[in-house]
Amino acid sequence: MNYRSRQTAFLKKIAQKHGVAQLFDALPDISVFMKDRRGRFMFLNPRGCEYCGVRKTEEAFGKTDHDFFPKAKADRYRAEDLRVMADGLPMLNHVESEPGRGGSPRLVMTSKMPLRDAQGKVIGVIGLSREVTGTAPASLGVGRVARAVELFYARYGEKLSVAQVARHVGVSVNQLERLFRRTVGESPQHYLLSVRIEQACRLLRESHASLAEVGQTCGFYDQAHFSRTFSAAMGCSPRAYLRRHQTA
């Protein structure tokens, strides 16, 4: 009997309540999730439940990313899942913003793999996300990007140049540009703009500020600039977004 057969035989002996799910539940800083082919959650550990805003797995079971996250973010998660299932190949160590409706200054590193049944057929995806901190190994460059993102969230309403951000994290402008494109797939300028739009959405949903006040608070230099940029990113004007969420 080879090692694979012996391993399979051993794993079959493990009672379900003592299996890997118990270990997943004990991981305090890692989100673990499983979804079926239709993107419905079949399992979430406690950290995953926090990201979805639920208290326990049962509240998320059978629901999809679109039930918990903004459409753009949920669409991206679904596209990743479909690619992993179609190719049968893992997505490893992908850096992205932490899940959540209101936005977060934290980054996570996410890996996903196809989930297969006993016959080898792909039946879904399994994945995990762990937080990236500013103390991540310098050789990865992720820690510097994480510190830059924290700065974006702390000062998104200010005039913040790429040179200022580069100095803050201890690299040159060119190095910062390369780190962002390699790590999150976009420029630091575009990431900061996304943070501003994200925070504008939050204020439109949760505050009673005027459109002009929201634009100014989020770092847009005039109302026309705010409206034009918001419309390009969200597919509707700030006023239309506000009306939609007032009636929701």
pLDDT score, position 22: 76
SS3 31: strand
What residues form DSSP beta bridges with 95? 109
SS3 10: helix
Q: Please answer whether residues 218 and 209 qualify as being in contact, where contact means their C-beta atoms are separated by less than 8 angstroms.
A: no
SS3 168: helix
**Which of 8-17, 58-67, 114-123, 180-189 shows the lowest per-residue confidence on average (mean pLDDT)?**
8-17
Mean pLDDT of the chain: 86
Rounded distance, CA 215 to CA 223, Å? 6
pLDDT score, position 245: 76
Q: What is the pLDDT of residues 90-105, one digit of tens each?
A: 999 888 888 765 566 7
Confidence of residue 139 (pLDDT cuts 50, 70, 90): very low
Domains and CATH numbers, the chain: 3-132 (3.30.450.20), 138-246 (1.10.10.60)
The pair of three-digit structure tokens given for residue 151, joined into one six-digit string: 């700065």
Four-point Cα dihedral 80, 83, 84, 90, nearest 10: -80
> b vs e for 41-73, b when ≥16 Cβ sit within 10 Å of the residue's Cβ?
bbbbbbbbbebbebeebeebeeebbeebbbeeb
pLDDT score, position 94: 87
